[in-house]
Amino acid sequence: MPEDRRQYPSDRRAVSRRAALFTGAAVAGGVLFGGAAQAVAAPSAAAAAAAPTVRTRAAWNARPPTSPAQVLNQAPTYIVVHHTATGNSTDYSLAAAYALSRSIQNYHMDSNGWADTGQQLTISRGGHIMEGRNSSLSAINNGRHVVGAHVANYNSRAVGIENQGTYTSATPTTALYNALVETCAWLCSAYGRPTSAIIGHRDLNATACPGDRLYAMLPQLRRDVGARLSAMGNGRLAGAGLAAGEMPPFPEVPASEPEGRFRHGPALGSRDSNASAG
C-alpha cells in the first residue's frame, strides 16, 4: 500500500490524553484483569459463531508467498487498527476489494521485498473482509498467531487490520465500520482478548495511522464490539482491561519529522523477527 506523502493537519496528541482514553476503555464495565493470576480466559465455542464472512486468499487470487508465514502457538496481545493511507475509493464492489488485496500484496512483495502481504486482514470501503498474509485465517480459527509486518517491533504480539482509505479528516463508510466491528468481535472471541486490546497503529509506533478521525472512533468501536460480544454471550471480554504489563507505550509523532511520512507509519523494526518480512 503506497505511502501517501502529502501534508496533512498536525496530528500530535499528548501522551497523557491518549493513555487516558485507552485506560478509560480498559476499565469500562468495572472489570479489570491484572497479572498472571487473572489472565484472560481461553476462547470459547462462541468464537466460531462470531466469525464473519472472510474472503480467502484463493478468492482474491493471491500470489504464492516466497516463504511460509511464521505461526506462533499463542494469541496476540493487540488487535491493531490501520488505514491504508490510499484514496477513499467510491467503488464498493467485491471486485474492487479483490483488486485492493492484490495491489497491497504486489506492493509489499515487489516494492518492500517482503515474503507476502504484511497484515493479517483487510477491509475494503465496501465492507468486504479479506484474508491477508498466508495462513492467517486458519491461524485465527485455531487461536494461533501469524507473524506479520504491519507494526514495528510488535509483529509477534499484534494482529493487524488494514482499513481501505485515508482517515485523517474523512470518516470510514458505514459498511467498513460495521465490518470492522464484526471483525474485532471475532478476533476478541477467537483469542480470548478483551475489547481494550483494540488499539490504533499510533499506540505502538510514531505514526498518524489510522488517521485522526478513525483513531477518535476507537472508544466507540470498543463499545460496539463489547455490545456484540455481550449479545453472543461473551460479555466477560466487553470492557475488560489488558493484563498488567500489556499497556502500549503511546509514542508521539516526532516533532522533527515531516508529517507526511507518518500517514501510515513503520511496519518493521529492529526487534522484529526476520520472518516478519520473509
Q: Is the pLDDT of residue 199 over 50?
A: yes
Task: Render pLDDT for 132-154 as a digit per residue (tens, 0 to 9).
Answer: 999 999 999 999 999 999 999 99
Q: How far is CA 201 from CA 53, 73, 233, 239, 278, in A?
A: 24, 23, 29, 20, 21
Residue 248: CB partners within 8 Å, gap ≥ 6? 22, 78, 199, 203, 204
* 175 and 92 Cβ atoms separated by less than 8 Å: yes
Domain borders along the chain are 32-254
Q: How far is CA 210 from CA 85, 90, 133, 148, in A?
A: 8, 19, 20, 17
- Please determine, looking at this structure, whether the domain spanning 32-254 carries the CATH number 2.40.50.140: no
Instruction: For residues 135 and 171, give the distance between their C-alpha atoms in angstroms, rounded to a whole number.
Output: 31
Whole-prediction pTM value? 0.85
Q: Is the pLDDT of residue 103 over 70?
A: yes
In three-state secondary structure terms, 115 is coil
pLDDT of residue 27: 41
Positive or negative, the Cα torsion across 247, 173, 233, 186?
A: negative
Task: Render pLDDT for 54-98 as a digit per residue (tens, 0 to 9).
Answer: 999 999 999 999 999 999 999 999 999 999 999 999 999 999 999
In which band, very low, low, confident or very high, does the pLDDT at 18 lie, cut at 50, 70 and 90? Answer: low
Q: How far apart are the first and last CA of the chain?
A: 17
